[in-house]
A and B are shown apart, each in its own frame.
Chain A
Amino acid sequence: DGGITQSPKYLFRKEGQNVTLSCEQNLNHDAMYWYRQDPGQGLRLIYYSQIVNDFQKGDIAEGYSVSREKKESFPLTVTSAQKNPTAFYLCASSIESLGTDTQYFGPGTRLTVL
């Protein structure tokens, strides 16, 4: 079955640690996205990638980093510089990055900072 997988589903981090969230897709999509979801705030774009080896900052990129070395993979690292990382993180992909393209979402990773 084609789709997007995210791992782990739940992640706990101590303050000062970097953690990496995995996102893999087998839909053969060029574009991939990372969103952060907080209660009552909807989804906010962290980073996006239109093609392999290229990515751009979204609206709230500070304290996060990404890589896009393979078409199917777009991992997100939450660094110690992110002041309030506790949130639900969603990865998405689309065929291309046109406004008409549907974004398909993974199941999410819930990150909690202890």
Chain B
Amino acid sequence: AQSVTQLGSHVSVSEGALVLLRCNYSSSVPPYLFWYVQYPNQGLQLLLKYTSAATLVKGINGFEAEFKKSETSFHLTKPSAHMSDAAEYFCAVSDASGTYKYIFGTGTRLKVLA
């Protein structure tokens, strides 16, 4: 069975500092991995996705994530945090074996300090 673990339900960074949001997955088949962002009382917006092409995936708003099979991780990073990055971030895993269902992590709320 697939699963996703997001370490840290709340993360605080200073404006201009590195953002690192952690995601570890468990999957018996090659996974497809996604990062979404959610602003208060809004839907989810796709930041980036990994589908077995390049292991370093670049997304919108300066975010990127690296797929590391040996560590079963897909951590999200951004070199310099901006106040507008404050939101909740969700990691999700899926696969192409027929179980097209997404499994979401419990989310990480990012706070950016001035």
CB < 8 Å: which of B32, B44, B104 contacts A99? B32
Distance in angstroms from B6 CB to nearest chain A CB is: 8
CB < 8 Å: which of B41, B43, B97 contacts A105? B43
| Contact status A104-B46, CB under 8 Å | yes
| Contact status A99-B42, CB under 8 Å | no
Please give me the residue from chain A that is nearest to B6 by CB atom. Answer: A42
| Contact status B49-A43, CB under 8 Å | no
CA distance A6 to B44 in the complex (A): 13
Distance in angstroms from A69 CB to nearest chain B CB is: 22
**Binding-face segment, A13-21, A76-84, A106-114:** A106-114
**Binding-face segment, B14-22, B74-82, B88-96:** B88-96
Please give me the residue from chain A that is nearest to B51 by CB atom. Answer: A100
CA distance A48 to B102 in the complex (A): 11
- Tell me if B's interface is mostly helix, strand, loop or mixed: loop
Please give me the residue from chain A that is nearest to B107 by CB atom. Answer: A42
Contacts known (A42-B107, A108-B41); A101 close to B100, Cβ less than 8 A: yes
| Contact status B90-A97, CB under 8 Å | no
**Is B34 interfacial (CB-CB < 8 Å)?**
yes
Please give me the residue from chain A that is nearest to B30 by CB atom. Answer: A99
Chain A residues near B51: list those with CB within 8 A: 100
**Is B99 interfacial (CB-CB < 8 Å)?**
yes
| Contact status B42-A42, CB under 8 Å | no
Distance in angstroms from B27 CB to nearest chain A CB is: 10
**Is A2 interfacial (CB-CB < 8 Å)?**
no
Please give me the residue from chain A that is nearest to B43 by CB atom. Answer: A105
Distance in angstroms from B108 CB to nearest chain A CB is: 11
Residues of A within 8 A of B (CB): 4, 6, 31, 40-45, 48, 58, 88, 90, 92, 97-108, 110
Provide 10 A-B residue pairs closer than 8 Å at the C-beta atoms, listed in order of the A residue.
A4-B43, A40-B106, A43-B102, A45-B101, A45-B102, A99-B32, A99-B99, A99-B100, A102-B49, A105-B43
Residues of B within 8 A of A (CB): 9, 32, 34, 36, 41-46, 49, 51, 90, 94-97, 99-102, 104-107
